Amino acid sequence: MTADPSFLAAARSRYGVEPVASARAPGRVNLIGDHIDYCGGTVLPVALDLCCHAAVFPKQTTPDACLISTTLDDRTASIPLDRPLIPGDPFPVGSWASYAAGVLAGLAGIAPLDALAGCRVYIHSDVPPGAGLSSSAAMEVAIARAAAHTCNIPIDGLNLARLCQSAEHAFAGVPCGLMDQAAAVLARPGSALAFDCAAETHTHVPLPERLELLVIDSGVRHALADGAYAERRRWCERASLALGATYLAHADASDLSTLDSQAARAARHVTSEHRRTLDAIAALRACDLPAFGRLLSTSHASLRDVYQVSCPEVDSLVEALQSTKGVLGARMSGGGFGGCVIAAIDTKLVDRSLLIRSQRSQHAVALRAKVTGITP
């Protein structure tokens, strides 16, 4: 997936030469199935038309390093390629440059990166960071694709997604599941990606034409590397161990009396969210939009009350949407603690422009009049 022509034109103007490789990867919004990808659950993301773009320009810097530049605050980082890259050296774990370093470390484990030495990688992303739209996964996949093309490394599909996931684990300190990277690699226009995180298999679920999706940025920013996300994952690990389950999403949660309170919360949310996601897939296939909307709203209640990953600003936004005529359901989306809200709208019940005006939102980041409106 090559970068957008307008991005390439701006990049050529900046550096005065043609790039040797370019790529892009989309952000995503998860329709339902949050915090279950790392528990073997099934998730249902959709690719957005917001993307991260990367272009590799020929040798312009020191021969033993790769210079990464991003339009986000005009940041630049020099990544050494003359020695093995390890987490925390030379970039702090969780810093923006650590994501790029982790991806290059993964590629270097497959084949030499000699062709990348001395090059400059230029990055621009439309995906707002910290909004729960997988800006980090989009950047990882875009860099990986561009660097792999430069170095003639044949990697794509789930292997590429796994490499980027490993980079985020080790170098960014975020123990994420595979959903975000898989969505950035596998999602198709016009469909949601039903991704089974246990079997690592997927199907594409067409979105009904009557369904519109409104994604609203709450304006509250999160940083998953700060620890709350990792803490929830530890809850799940304790629950899986106590229940004797390989994957918590598939566990029998009928008796949680032996679990501590946090592990019990994890088991209740994960097992019920997995069932809701399967039901949501069935509802979309049957074009049962009211049922789909109810599942979204029930999912938010679980994320808010059971798993405790929402926040007051997001809850207020969800409640306002749920009480608006024509909105089938609404929920937080992403890792939580801020970020975005997704609402499902039936176009037969409401005009979306009227809905947006009624909400007076200043944070709409993605709206589709048709399915392709939020997909690459």
Q: Read off the amino acid at residue 369.
A: A
The per-residue DSSP string of 100-116 comes to HHHHHHHHHTTS--GGG
Domain encompassing residue 369: 209-374
Q: Is residue 201 domain-resident?
A: no
For position 64, what pLDDT does the model report? 83
Q: Can you give the CATH number for the domain in which 337 is found?
A: 3.30.70.890
Q: What is the pLDDT of residues 341-366, one digit of tens each?
A: 999 998 887 765 555 554 544 344 44
Residue 171 DSSP label? I
- Nearest to residue 23, comparing CAs of 190, 153, 111, 131? 153
The answer to whether 37 is a known catalytic residue is no
State whether 31 and 180 are in the same domain: yes
State whether 176 and 255 are in the same domain: no
Options 126, 180, 217, 315, the catalytic residue: 180
State whether 181 and 295 are in the same domain: no
For position 165, what pLDDT does the model report? 97
For position 224, what pLDDT does the model report? 61
For position 355, what pLDDT does the model report? 58
Three-state SS for 40? coil
- For 5, phi then psi, to 5°, come to -55, -40
Torsion sign across C-alpha atoms 312, 313, 319, 322: negative
Total domain count, the chain: 2
> Which portions of the chain are predicted below pLDDT 50?
358, 360-376
For position 230, what pLDDT does the model report? 87
Distance between CA atoms of residues 229 and 174, nearest Å: 8
Whether 43 and 195 have beta carbons less than 8 Å apart is answered as yes
For position 177, what pLDDT does the model report? 87
For position 361, what pLDDT does the model report? 43
For position 222, what pLDDT does the model report? 65
State whether 133 and 268 are in the same domain: no
Q: Which of 196, 229, 260 is the last residue of a domain?
A: 196
State whether 179 and 217 are in the same domain: no
Distance between CA atoms of residues 127 and 130, nearest Å: 9
- Nearest to residue 275, comparing CAs of 315, 302, 307? 302
Distance between CA atoms of residues 119 and 58, nearest Å: 5
State whether 220 and 141 are in the same domain: no
Nearest-10 Cα torsion for 296, 206, 196, 341? -30
Whether 233 and 348 have beta carbons less than 8 Å apart is answered as no
